[in-house]
Copies of this chain bind each other. A is one copy, B any other.
Amino acid sequence: MQNPLQIRRKIILGSGSPRRRQILEGLGIPFEVTVLSTDESFPEELSHHEVPVFLAQKKANEFKKLCNDDSSVIIITADTVVSIRGEILNKPSDRQEAIGMLEKLSGTSHEVITGVCISSRESRVSFAEKTTVYFRQLERTEIEYYVNAFQPFDKAGSYGVQEWVGYVGMEKIEGSFYNVMGLPISAVYNELRKFSIS
């Protein structure tokens, strides 16, 4: 029996995140990965829910020429931010900043918002999904162990939900789990169905 998603177009994931790649592989459809560098700055007046959509669209803009050259292409770009008490936590620049971020997340809840842009030559759809994550109180030794052993410097908010600190510290979530990992895959699937021929 064939996959309900039958897309006779070239799907490109425009993200270097191995986690996004792993999640998209869950759909069981072929795709390629192409990473184009994007300046990740954004206007300060944007709300925390607008920022990841803005950045997903900005990443999609880098693929405009590729879409114009090949009308069969569908591009998926995404950006994930961690928001806590009015502050966006980006990727930490060093060990101290990573420890500081995890101390902020300890014993309270925060929001993970992923913006997605699905674009082709003829169309563009953008949306954001939010998941609330609750961490228990983390001990200083736990935070230091995690940062030293896992070096979470490529992760917004300094943690990976599928790494040690996600296993031991995450008490519960409200929303999509895969959204916290970097791609709200159920919503992405729903958009991709519009391109499906079956």
Using a CB–CB cutoff of 8 Å, the interface residues on chain A facing chain B are 1-4, 23, 26-28, 131, 136, 139, 141-142, 144-145, 148-149, 161-164, 166-178, 185-186, 189
Contacts and interface: CB of A to CB of B under 8 A. Distances in A.
The 10 closest A-B pairs by CB, nearest first: A26-B167, A177-B177, A168-B189, A1-B148, A167-B185, A172-B175, A4-B141, A174-B174, A4-B142, A1-B145
5 contacts: A2-B145, A26-B163, A27-B167, A28-B164, A161-B177
A92 B91 CA distance: 44
A176 B167 contact: no
B145 A171 contact: no
Given A4-B145, A144-B1, A145-B1, A186 B167 contact: yes
A27 B164 contact: yes
A148 B4 CA distance: 12
A137 to B, nearest CB: 11
Nearest to A167: B26
Most chain B CB neighbours (cut-off 10 Å) among A4, A26, A169? A4
B27 A186 contact: no
A171 B179 CA distance: 10
A171 B167 contact: no
Given A26-B164, A136-B186, A139-B4, A171 B178 contact: no
Given A172-B175, A175-B172, A186-B136, A1 B149 contact: yes
A170 B176 contact: yes
Contacts of A162: 26
